[in-house]
Amino acid sequence: MSILIQNIKTLLLANDQYTNKVAGKDLNNIPTLNNAYLLIEGDRIAAWGSMADCPQRADQIIDATGKFVLPTWCDSHTHLVFAATRETEFIDKIKGASYQEIAKKGGGILNSAKKLQQTPIEELVESAYLRLQEVQQYGTGAIEIKSGYGLTLEAEIKMLRVIQQLKQRTAMPIKATFLGAHALPTKYKDNRQGYLDLLIKDMLPQIAAEGLADYIDVFCEKVAFSVAETEQILEAGAKYGLPPKIHTNQFNCMGGIQAAIAHQAISVDHLEVINDEEIAALQGSSTIGTLLPSAPFFLNDHYPQARKMIDAGLGVALATDYNPGSTPSGNMPFVLSLACIKMKMQPAEALQAATINGAYALQLADQLGSISRGKLANVIITKPMDSIAYMPYAFGTNWIDQVIIAGKPI
């Protein structure tokens, strides 16, 4: 099966050499080709170029006059498997309770864990699959999904098996992350090391034996796990070949970034707060900062300093953080709008952060994140528009016309 998209107003991120993260000034320099075509064969990008060189034949022809074509989003940070939404906390937050206060009262993550422990695996698969289908409509073509709402051996394994089943059910690449260290279960309140031991000695070996995770994550934060505890977990993960992608600097600068870099983390995620020392540490590393602006939007918190990071020469990735507590939304176009409106990123920077840099944060930059020959044919066709700025500008507007995943229109 071949698909030819022709008369494309502008083809974005078309570059066969795009297999690494884009950083600093380069972020604003987005590859563009006007009056272009794109040829898909099977599940791959077969060719692209100017209309003057457009092939004549394909099984299906799509006319993209006036439209942009770009790679799908790589949403490199989500908690898309969960048992129940948390509107009660939403109301508490409107009345003034903070995210940390809710967590301290046994709400938050522990509340989600209680519900997930009681929910059958089939139900979790079905609800997560519906969310996956929904985010594909928003243009997401690859995604990372974390455990961390289990917090017992059985429930963490159950969550990771849900992700494994999702992997088998969709052509969209999925990476699974083990986040057993998301919150300390109440039972271990006076025995923190007891929970770490459960995680390291019981959960990790079984997860590794079943091949259930690609990465290891820790919520390194005052309300969750310390830097020393984080290091213990990352070291254990390394023994099973699980590189870190960690939650850090959501509320406090406490050394999480440096610890993650020392353990060759693929990404450090959140970064609502960051200091100069931490920016310097990132400058010398291959670890990418992943910014999740929907979380501070929903929590009414301050946003990451994307401008400062990019001006310091860093690459950043953008992701949703889709979860029932801090971000009940998997909408990447809205993340792009927040990146521009609240973090002063230029539209081109936001587009590259959400595609090629998201792919880098999933270790999939050789397969996804750009329009390159041989990469997976995961593309977005927009509605007609004048410029790329329209995409983040028209927040909340559905400007996506069509999404193709692995060579198939969805």
What residue ranges bind Fe ion (CB under 5 A)? 321
Give, as ranges, the residues between 169 and 228 that touch ligand NIG (CB under 6 A): 219
Site map (CB under 6 A) of ligand NIG, residues 13-52, x = contact: ----------------------------------------
Q: Tell me the C-alpha distance between 143 and 136, whole Å.
A: 10
**What stretch of H or E contains 220?**
strand 215-220
* 362 token code pair: 């999933």
Measured from the CB of residue 79, what is the shortest distance to Fe ion in angstroms? 6
Give, as ranges, the residues between 45 and 84 that touch ligand NIG (CB under 6 A): 79
Instruction: Give buried/exposed letters for 343-360 (b at 16+ CB in 10 A, else e).
Output: bebbbbbbbbbbbbbbbb
CA 142, distance to chain mean position in Å, is: 8
Measured from the CB of residue 108, what is the shortest distance to ligand NIG in angstroms? 5
Q: Which is nearer to Fe ion, 20 or 98 (CB)?
A: 98
Q: Which is nearer to Fe ion, 161 or 245 (CB)?
A: 245
108 binds, among ligand NIG, Fe ion, none (CB under 5 to 8 A by kind): ligand NIG
Measured from the CB of residue 80, what is the shortest distance to Fe ion in angstroms? 11
Q: Does 109 bind ligand NIG (CB under 6 A)?
A: yes
Among 139, 244, 325, 369, binds ligand NIG (CB under 6 A): 325
Q: Tell me the C-alpha distance between 59 and 65, whole Å.
A: 19
Q: Does 263 bind ligand NIG (CB under 6 A)?
A: no
Among 14, 54, 163, 295, binds ligand NIG (CB under 6 A): 295
For residues 36 and 48, the answer to whether their CB atoms sit within 8 Å is: yes
Task: Return the range that interacts with ligand NIG (CB under 6 A); candidates 42-50, 105-113, 227-235, 282-290.
Answer: 105-113
Q: Does 288 bind ligand NIG (CB under 6 A)?
A: no
* CA neighbours closer than 13 Å in the CB half-sphere of residue 148: 27
What's 319's DSSP letter? -
Contacts of 324 (CB under 8 A, 6+ apart): 79, 82, 84, 85, 86, 112
> CA nearest 192: which of 234, 158, 228, 217?
228
Q: How far apart are the first and last CA of the chain?
A: 15
Task: Return the range that interacts with ligand NIG (CB under 6 A); candidates 12-20, 54-62, 317-325, 346-354.
Answer: 317-325
Interface ranges with ligand NIG (CB under 6 A): 79, 108-109, 112, 219, 247, 250, 295, 321, 323-326
